[in-house]
Amino acid sequence: MKTAVITIAAIVAGAAGARAAELHVAPQGNDSNPGTRATPLRTIQHAAELAQPGDVIIVHEGVYRERINPPRGGASDAKRIVYQAAPGEKVEIKGSEVVKDWVQVQNDVWRVTLPNTFFGGFNPYRDLIHGDWFNPKGREHHTGAVYLNGQWLIEAAKLDDVLQPAGDTGLWFGQVDNERTTLWAQFKGVDPNEQLVEINVRQTVFYPDKPGRNYLTVRGFVMRHAATPWAPPTAEQIGLIGTHWSRGWIIEDNVISHSVCSGIALGKHGDQFDNTSANTAEGYVKTIERAQAHPIPWTKDNIGHHLVRNNVVSHCEQAGIVGSLGPVFCVVSGNTIHDIHVRRLFTGAEMAGIKFHAAIDTEISHNHIYRTTRGLWLDWMAQGTRVTRNLFHDNITEDLFVEVNHGPFVVDNNVFLSATTLLDWSEGGAYAHNLMAGRIVPRPELRRLTPFHKPHSTDVAGLKNIVGGDNRFYNNIFVGANGLSPYDAASLPVWMDGNVFLQGATPSKHERNPLVQPKADPALKLVENADGFYLELTFDQRWTSPATRPLVTSELLGQAAIPQLPFEQPDGTPIRINTDYFGQPRNEANPTTGPFENPGNGRLTKFLSSGLAGKRSAKERSQAGSKGG
């Protein structure tokens, strides 16, 4: 029997090598078909089971209600397994099912009862959201959801709330017994049996059940509706789509929305210690040690190197993109992330447009992040990280939170327009050529000892607390708020030069020759048009004329104090910030302050984001950079 099994396996492997490199999937297909264009398969999962390294799975227009669990990865970057929507066709993959047979209870309240077998082995309506650093605000929350015509309703704390008159956003409530799941929901003014009503039934949409499935590409899909769990840094992090402790994924050109917790997860593996940290720094240090001892250890060779680009991520109640230890050596670029944790039914310490622990040598660039609880949260081990050419606005708490990092990390050529620009509980940061229109709030963090690393490595070199300072601010524009004056009390040295302070923003005593114009008002106004977002501002070229500003380079920035490492590129080459927000060359002898090089004079309009997740090329973005100026 063993010989027969080996022989059959060899035949299957040979057939796989001989067949075409493309597998087609279509709603009218059949999983007994060979998967050609003329005779496609029916499910993406069956195509996944057949696909071998080098194959491309092409999915044709339609709605697919399934969870894809890729059983294998590619062999290398050059020999990937690619999952992609057919060009020009809309392909939706949903973790929900349509539900009919609603019965009216009273007024706008309806009820449906389903057998528990409807959900298989996972029932989101008995699955409580819980975990490290999670705060339920005194009530229960489940990973289930109810959607009316694509918009999700809000889970009520108790049935009596649903039985009240419906408001603008409907409520739902669920009860599960041994045999049945009963849902009550408010459908204001409509009969749900005549509308599209969907409910969550799957925990995730695209996620491997085991780590180490590398070199996968997921491209061009609309992916919605996932009953995702809370994803703290000390547990397995499952997103609507997630890489599950692997290397070399490309996630691009997708629309990802309505995940109960997280949209894209680049996070850690799971183990028996998940959610046992007691919400302590010491608990997370143990998590790091276990990751380094994992069968697929946390090293540069094994983990990270993901490319996440040109996606639209929205309507997630924890994070748009989340990752602990997994987002190392990555590029996260050109994504539009909005409406993250805006319902605020629960809280905790893990909510942001992007929330990364250990973004070592990772680039976060050209993203548009708005209407989130906080824009970008870099928590622990942002070393070699670069945050460049991003647009932030209308974020509730702040645009950027850097927490207990020792650097070196670089934040350059960004536009920060929310009321608070920066919450700085870190050291070793370099901030250059940014437009900062909100408050800056630095503070030390003496209670926690957090890691710093050997250069371009996950190897821990030591642990240290944060006393504050060791930051550099060059060639930024500060508008209103408090400017850099909070750094007057920094414990470690700070370096500042070439900054401009407008509309009441105040410099630090550590800057020798700041340009301060307290009455100058650039009248910043962000305008959303049909083709994207434009920044209107008044720019006075005299702000750039009184002094010669330095070109920001590795030589100028020096070394971060605690790790004793230079500010440099992931490959070890020097940094030269010689281009602007749009990629236009800077005058290296005297670069213009702020994110826009030589922007013009007077009232200007700058095209900042298409709102289409960076589908324009860098050249197109550059060419579209100025209008009327």
Q: From CA 39, how far away is CA 17, in angstroms rounded?
A: 19
Q: 407: phi > 0 → left, psi -120 to 50 → alpha, else beta; which? A: left
> Is 558 domain-assigned?
yes
> Is 592 domain-assigned?
no
First vs last Cα of the chain: how many Å apart?
77
Q: Does the structure show a pLDDT above 80 at 611?
A: no
Among 139, 174, 200, where does a domain finish? 200
> Is 20 domain-assigned?
yes
75 and 110 in a single domain? The answer is no
For the residues of 267-310, what is the DSSP string, one character each? -PPP-TTTT-STT-HHHHHHHHHHHHTSSS-SSTTTSB--EEES
CA 247, chain centre distance (Å):
17
Placement of tokens 């005194």 in the chain: 138
From the CB of residue 574, how many other CB atoms can be counted at a distance below 10 Å? 12
> Is 189 domain-assigned?
yes
CA atoms within 13 A on the CB side of 465: 9
Read off the pLDDT of residues 396-433 as tens digits, 9 standing for 90 and up. Answer: 999 999 999 999 999 999 999 999 999 999 999 999 99
Residue 548, pLDDT score: 84
What DSSP character marks residue 423? Answer: E
> Is 392 domain-assigned?
yes
Q: What pTM was estimated for this model as a whole?
A: 0.94
| Higher per-residue confidence, 548 vs 602 | 602
Least confident of 4-8, 66-70, 318-322, 430-434: 4-8
Mean pLDDT of 509-536: 95
Segments forming the whole domain that contains residue 8: 2-94
CATH number at residue 562: 2.160.20.10
Mean pLDDT score of the chain, rounded to an integer? 93
State how many domains the chain has.
Answer: 3
90 and 122 in a single domain? The answer is no
Among 200, 233, 254, where does a domain finish? 200
Task: Count H helices and E strands in the chain, helices first.
Answer: 6, 53
Among 530, 550, 566, where does a domain finish? 566
Contact 427, 492 (CB under 8 A): yes
Element (H, E) at 256: strand 255-259
Contact 470, 487 (CB under 8 A): no
Read off the pLDDT of residues 583-598 as tens digits, 9 standing for 90 and up. Answer: 999 999 999 999 999 9
Q: From CA 395, how far away is CA 339, in angstroms rounded?
A: 9
15 and 136 in a single domain? The answer is no
Sorted by sequence, the CB contacts under 8 Å of residue 366 that are 6+ apart come out as 333, 334, 388, 389, 390, 614, 621
147 and 21 in a single domain? The answer is no
524 and 392 in a single domain? The answer is yes
22 and 132 in a single domain? The answer is no
52 and 154 in a single domain? The answer is no
Residue 610, pLDDT score: 77
106 and 86 in a single domain? The answer is no
> Is 603 domain-assigned?
no
Placement of tokens 């900042």 in the chain: 608
Confidence of residue 5 (pLDDT cuts 50, 70, 90): very low
131 and 41 in a single domain? The answer is no
Q: What angle do CA 205, 207, 213 make, to 5 degrees?
A: 155
> Is 157 domain-assigned?
yes
185 and 36 in a single domain? The answer is no
Sorted by sequence, the CB contacts under 8 Å of residue 332 that are 6+ apart come out as 308, 309, 321, 354, 362, 363, 364, 365, 367
Residue 617, pLDDT score: 37
Residue 544, pLDDT score: 81
Closest CA to 428 of 308, 530, 558: 558
Query: Any bridge partners for residue 265, and if so which?
Result: 242, 322
Read off the pLDDT of residues 326-357 as tens digits, 9 standing for 90 and up. Answer: 999 999 999 999 999 999 999 999 999 999 99
Read off the pLDDT of residues 104-115 as tens digits, 9 standing for 90 and up. Answer: 999 999 999 999
164 and 15 in a single domain? The answer is no
Q: Does the structure show a pLDDT above 90 at 15?
A: no
> Is 186 domain-assigned?
yes
Read off the pLDDT of residues 26-36 as tens digits, 9 standing for 90 and up. Answer: 999 999 999 99
CA atoms within 13 A on the CB side of 183: 31
Read off the pLDDT of residues 213-253 as tens digits, 9 standing for 90 and up. Answer: 999 999 999 999 999 999 999 999 999 999 999 999 999 99
Residue 615, pLDDT score: 44
Q: From CA 43, how far away is CA 66, in angstroms rounded?
A: 8
443 and 542 in a single domain? The answer is yes
